[in-house]
């Protein structure tokens, strides 16, 4: 019985660590997909719940990060599909809100079509390789490369129009 309690404590400790280490990334991915701070907070909560309730790969940090990104992207898609809006409390203790400069850049990225936002975000903000992005989003590397190239062109056009 005592071993089971130790295992549960270790499990919750790993879950808490995963949430604390990845909360900023989850929030930023959710915000750049939804364009709403409130929706991003909701998705952060939902991903945190998924970490607790699903069988998340807590011991393998690299796989866990990809799992978290995949769940976050899916939750963003679910939000649009189901128009699910729920009340949540702010999670200011777990996240750092973006600076004004980051906010401006994220707003520019938000003007891109949705399929380009995640690719450009993962490449530039999370420093993922094309192969990592392809594995995480379950797309071919050629598709990811094409999406990234198109996203860059569209982002350049958006930025030059504003100047």
Alpha-carbon gap, residue 34 to 110, rounded angstroms: 8
Alpha-carbon gap, residue 139 to 113, rounded angstroms: 17
User: How much is the pLDDT for 28?
Assistant: 93
pLDDT tens by residue, 8-40: 788 788 888 888 998 999 999 999 988 889 899
| Separation in Å, CA 119 to CA 14, 81, 100 | 28, 20, 22
Alpha-carbon gap, residue 126 to 4, rounded angstroms: 36
Is pLDDT larger for residue 77 or for residue 163?
A: 77
Alpha-carbon gap, residue 85 to 97, rounded angstroms: 21
User: How much is the pLDDT for 149?
Assistant: 95
How many Cβ atoms sit within 10 Å of the Cβ of residue 82? 8
Half-sphere exposure of 79 (CA within 13 A, CB side): 24
In the chain the domains, ranked by start, together with CATH numbers, are 1-97 (no CATH), 99-163 (1.10.10.10)
Largest CA distance in the chain: 66
User: How much is the pLDDT for 94?
Assistant: 64
Is pLDDT larger for residue 88 or for residue 101?
A: 101
pLDDT tens by residue, 92-120: 666 665 566 666 777 788 888 888 989 98
**Stated length of the chain:** 163
Find which of 20-24, 100-104, 140-144, 159-163 is predicted with most confidence, using mean pLDDT: 140-144
User: How much is the pLDDT for 31?
Assistant: 93
Alpha-carbon gap, residue 90 to 23, rounded angstroms: 13
Is pLDDT larger for residue 54 or for residue 142?
A: 142
Strands (DSSP E) found in 50-156: none
User: How much is the pLDDT for 84?
Assistant: 46
Q: Taking Cα atoms as reference points, which of 13, 107, 25, 14 lies closest to residue 70?
A: 25
Residue 44 above 90 pLDDT? yes
pLDDT tens by residue, 59-86: 788 888 899 999 999 999 888 776 545 5
């Amino acid at each position: 019985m005592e071993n089971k309690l130790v295992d549960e404590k270790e499990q919750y400790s790993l879950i808490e660590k995963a949430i604390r280490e990845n909360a900023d990334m989850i929030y930023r991915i959710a915000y750049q997909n939804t364009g709403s701070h409130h929706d991003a907070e909701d998705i952060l909560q939902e991903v945190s719940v998924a970490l607790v309730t699903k069988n998340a790969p807590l011991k393998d940090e690299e796989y866990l990060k990809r799992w978290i990104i995949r769940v976050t992207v899916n939750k963003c898609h679910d939000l649009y599909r189901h128009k699910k809006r729920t009340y949540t409390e702010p999670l200011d203790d777990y996240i750092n809100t973006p600076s004004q400069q980051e906010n401006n850049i994220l707003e520019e990225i938000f003007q891109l079509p949705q399929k380009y936002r995640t690719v450009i975000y993962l490449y530039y903000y999370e420093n993922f390789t094309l192969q990592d992005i392809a594995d995480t989003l379950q797309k071919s590397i050629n598709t990811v490369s094409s999406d990234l190239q198109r996203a860059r062109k569209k982002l350049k056009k958006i930025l030059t129009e504003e100047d």
